[in-house]
């Protein structure tokens, strides 16, 4: 049993490294979060919405997606290592469904927040965050 726990921790640790190492290279797309106020580029009220959008996108893409992937991995490992134990199999299934439901709640929140922020920046409804890029401040 100790060997199984050790192997599970090693696989999760390796998966965490594989997921997080490429994220360092992608962080430059989101940083700096504040895109105005440097030199001759003054900030406008629209830039506040752009900042909020960048924070939400950063949290969703760099925190929630990797955590959901790790959670699905952990649920799969729990089901894989059940070894005929119905309680472990049920625990893995319940973990999997809890992660899927939580992920869809997070995606729904992301769509709602980006729709509201985009509509405020555009000046009316009609912004679709699933098919359009976030509007640029003018």
Are 123 and 138 in contact by the 8 Å Cβ rule? The answer is no
CA–CA distance, 90 with 78 (Å, rounded to integer): 9
Whether 131 is covered by a domain: the verdict is no
CA–CA distance, 112 with 119 (Å, rounded to integer): 11
Tokens of 31: 């940083």
Domain count along the chain: 1
Range of the domain at 69: 43-122
Whether 1 is covered by a domain: the verdict is no
Angle at alpha carbon of residue 88, lines to 86 and 94, rounded to 5°: 100
Residue-wise pLDDT for 76-97, tens only, equals 999 998 888 899 999 999 999 9
Tokens of 6: 């050790």
What is the band of 8 on the pLDDT scale with cuts at 50, 70, 90?
Answer: confident
Whether 107 is covered by a domain: the verdict is yes
Residue 88 gets which letter from DSSP? H
Residue-wise pLDDT for 13-42, tens only, equals 887 777 766 655 544 555 667 777 777 777
Whether 29 is covered by a domain: the verdict is no
Whether 38 is covered by a domain: the verdict is no
Whether 64 is covered by a domain: the verdict is yes
Whether 102 is covered by a domain: the verdict is yes
CA–CA distance, 44 with 65 (Å, rounded to integer): 31
CA–CA distance, 26 with 57 (Å, rounded to integer): 13
- Please report how the helices 45-59 and 86-122 are oriented relative to each other, as an axis angle in degrees rounded to 10: 170
Question: Residue 101: is the preceding peptide bond cis (ω within 30°)?
Answer: no
């Amino acid at each position: 049993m100790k060997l199984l726990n050790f192997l599970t921790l090693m696989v999760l640790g390796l998966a965490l490294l594989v997921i997080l190492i490429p994220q360092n290279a992608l962080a430059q797309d989101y940083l700096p979060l504040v895109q105005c106020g440097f030199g001759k580029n003054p900030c406008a009220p629209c830039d506040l919405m752009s900042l909020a959008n960048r924070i939400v996108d950063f949290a969703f893409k760099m925190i929630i997606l990797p955590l959901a992937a790790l959670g699905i991995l952990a649920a799969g490992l729990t089901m894989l290592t059940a070894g005929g134990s119905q309680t472990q199999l049920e625990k893995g299934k319940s973990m999997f469904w809890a992660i899927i439901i939580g992920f869809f709640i997070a995606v729904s929140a992301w769509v709602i927040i980006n729709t509201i922020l985009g509509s405020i920046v555009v000046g009316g409804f009609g912004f679709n965050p699933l098919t359009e890029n976030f509007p640029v401040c003018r």
